[in-house]
Amino acid sequence: MRTAASRRRWLAALLPAAFAGAGVAEEACTARVPLSTAERTIAHADAPPTRSTVTLPDDLPRPLRVEDVRVGYTLDVSRCAGAGTAALWLFRVGAPFTIHDDAGRPLALLSAGGRLPTDQWVARLAASERAVYNGRIPALFALEPGTRTVRIELLTITFIPSGIVAAELGPTNLLLPVQARTLEGVVAFADIASGVVLVLGALALLLWTRRRATARCSGSRSPAACGAGAASRTTPRWCRWRRPCSSSSTRSTCCSPRPPCRRRCCRC
């Protein structure tokens, strides 16, 4: 009897603690949390991989930015393991990368900035194991419930002296606006630059077309072939085929037909 009573007391003491722990776990993924550390893996071609804990952003020294070195990161996302709609946001990664959870499943890309329609083919490509993402563009990935770690593999030499620049963990509804604002800020400059280049290209084409016509006229042996266009715009139609009058010319000379390279004409 005493043993049963003691067990009941222990259960009564443990149940509130268990429920309190569950409440803490649920409240743990209710806000955006910047990830400050990650486990970095360095794999050389002729040596076993080495692991170390680094602080984000992770600055890569020059000896690690070579062709025969592979860099990977493991992020701890256990804070949101019990959440139903959790996401991982990566501001920038130093190279094209792949991303998988601790079960080997590729993470699904949540936001592409609304620039391309996500049809079935794009969805299958994003969910495939060979999906490679551009590290220059901010990306938001969905986390499956129960995911505790995320593995990121860099596939090439980094284009900046950093591996992972910044990462955040939190609910999807809080990270989606962050992704939209950041993507607009990063990609808007490229859009503006493309528009400026398009306008300059159109102006250059117009100038080249006009210059080509001028060069053709200046190189022609017969000035009449060039003056036809100018004459047609500056003289009336009835006098384009008449030579200009002079003080010594007669009526028959003035009004005789002539090729249309004249800037003025007389009324005969």
Cβ neighbours of residue 24 closer than 8 Å, sequence gap 6 or more: none
Contact 53, 37 (CB under 8 A): yes
CA distance 158 to 111: 24
CA distance 166 to 151: 15
Torsion angles phi and psi, residue 224, rounded to 5: -65, -35
CA distance 70 to 156: 8
Model-level pTM?
0.61
Please tell me the least confidently modeled range out of 77-86, 139-148, 161-170, 244-253.
244-253
Confidence of residue 190 (pLDDT cuts 50, 70, 90): confident
What pLDDT is recorded for position 21?
A: 46
CA distance 253 to 43: 95
Q: What does CATH list as the number for 29-183?
A: 2.60.120
What pLDDT is recorded for position 257?
A: 52
Domain ranges across the chain: 29-183, 230-246+256-268
Token couple for 244: 């200009």
pLDDT in tens, 83-142: 888 999 999 999 999 999 999 999 999 865 444 444 554 555 555 556 899 998 899 999
CA distance 57 to 35: 10
